[in-house]
Structure 1
Amino acid sequence: MTKCFAASLLATCMLVSGCTSTLVQPDQYSGFLQDYSRLSEQQSPSGVKVARWVDPNLDISRYTQVYIEPSKFYPTPQPDSRIPQTTLQGITSYYDQALKRELSKVIRISNSPSNGTLVIRPAITAVSAETEGLKPYEVIPIALVVAAATTAAGERDQQVEIATEASFIDAGNGKVVAEVVRKGAGTDLENKKQVLSADDVKPVIDGWANDMRLSMEQLRAKR
């Protein structure tokens, strides 16, 4: 029985998006970063999987401050009734706030780049609200019919996913010294009619910002 349940769960995860991953697949890369070929699967300080690259010659002690470029969406999305412009603006605004809040705990935040500055260039590369994946018990054919009916009626939970790509640049020479790609799951929406708000993804963004701070602390500890 246990083996059958595990097999059903695995099949469900493979067929639908219900089992959320923090790792962005290569075919989902946006083109925002300079070079994706050097990314590799790694574990973030908080323990989740991300695609990341850090220049092996990076000396983090060279930087006395960071300049955080205003985050943006890439590519530029078209707002709609589910994800309005106010939500898009709220997401990028909160991303900027979260990065400044966390990184200011470990390094000075600069208003402009100069020598000795690490530039952080972040982008939101995806935000979506998709029908929640089927639960294991819904592998039963009758339950699948019910699930399809509730989806059509707009009554099924909608999973919220948001992804980011960020590059880290030496302001003195313009060289990219690190890159990261990751995603996360926000608060589920009750149905396909509910409007997404920035609040639904704030916990994900908080996690990203916290990991950036912890990563900087780890790099400093190695020197």
Structure 2
Amino acid sequence: MRKISLLTLLAGAALLAGCTSHVTDKQHYSGFIQDYSQLKPASSASDRPTLRWISPDYRSSDYSSVVYTPVVYYPAAKPTARVSQQTLDQIRSYTDTRLKAAIGERKKLVTQPGPRTLIVRSAITGVTAENEGVQFYEVVPVAAVIASTMAATGHRTQNSALFLEIEARDAQTGKPLIKVVRKAFGKPLNNSSAPITYGDVKSAIDETVSDAMHFSAP
């Protein structure tokens, strides 16, 4: 009778898991924010993992207005077989509309820099899909082989994901005050060939904007 030890199962799990990262990996930093070295793991208002830095000199009460810069793609986005130009346009437009409204609820929006003013700039740095992590029940050797085969042939369920980077600076000095790098998940996709649509990542945008609206700082 074949026996599989607990140690073997745990070793198999470690090798096969490839767990999905819930924060942006360093290799996905876009360069939109000049210095990423200050970022630290943190929790968003909805308790989602994120990377964030807040200057010790920042006090929300010191600022009453915001010069809002429209959301861009950075680097410039190009349509692919999975993400159409129409989808890219819808995602950027919706993110921009929601984020601008959220910031406008927190502070007065103005068009010119001045005293007690922040400049907020943001970029969508990725719209992607990645394989879901191997589940615990797939550690059984035969099932693990099947799961690996499905991943290789493109039939494995994937997570849609949106990457967003936001930076706030003092409008007069240009000094950076807040940096946020966020990865948010949308709807799952059936396989690695399924198109990524605006509807797939809409919930990721909504979650990120809601967290921005309820962001708390000194």
Contact 1:8 1:136 in 2 (8 A): no
Closer, same or farther: CA 26–131 of 1 in aligned 2, 3 Å: closer
In the superposition, the TM-score normalised over structure 1's length comes to 0.83
Distance across 1 between alignment mates of 2:74 and 2:204:
18
RMSD: 2.6
Distance across 2 between alignment mates of 1:206 and 1:195:
20
Indicate the residue corresponding to 1:36 in structure 2.
36
- The 5 A counterparts of 1:129-208 are 129-151=129-151, 154-208=154-208
Q: Residue by residue, what CA displacement relative to the aligned partner does 1:137-170 show, whole Å, maximum 9, x if unpaired?
A: 1122222332244445543322212211111012
In the superposition, the TM-score normalised over structure 2's length comes to 0.85
| Partner-residue secondary structure (3-state), 1:92 | helix
Indicate the residue corresponding to 1:83 in structure 2.
83
| Partner-residue secondary structure (3-state), 2:156 | coil
Distance across 1 between alignment mates of 2:25 and 2:152:
29
Distance across 1 between alignment mates of 2:125 and 2:27:
13
Closer, same or farther: CA 27–195 of 1 in aligned 2, 3 Å: closer
Distance across 2 between alignment mates of 1:119 and 1:180:
14
Task: Give the letter aligned to residue 54 of structure 1.
Answer: I
Percent identity between the two aligned chains: 34
Q: CA deviation at 1:5?
A: 11
Q: CA deviation at 1:198?
A: 1.4
Q: 2:14 aligns with which of 11, 33, 39?
A: 11
Q: Residue by residue, what CA displacement relative to the aligned partner does 1:177-203 show, whole Å, maximum 9, x if unpaired?
A: 111112021101122332111121111
Q: CA deviation at 1:120?
A: 1.2
| Partner-residue secondary structure (3-state), 2:79 | coil
Indicate the residue corresponding to 2:211 in structure 1.
211
Contact 2:13 2:139 in 1 (8 A): no
Indicate the residue corresponding to 2:3 in structure 1.
none
Task: Give the letter aligned to residue 25 of structure 1.
Answer: D
Closer, same or farther: CA 27–117 of 1 in aligned 2, 3 Å: same
Distance across 2 between alignment mates of 1:31 and 1:136:
36
Q: Residue by residue, what CA displacement relative to the aligned partner does 1:68-121 show, whole Å, maximum 9, x if unpaired?
A: 2111121223311201111111111111111123223222223x2321321211
Number of residue equivalences? 213
| Partner-residue secondary structure (3-state), 2:88 | helix
Q: CA deviation at 1:30?
A: 1.5
Distance across 2 between alignment mates of 1:48 and 1:98:
19
Closer, same or farther: CA 10–185 of 1 in aligned 2, 3 Å: farther
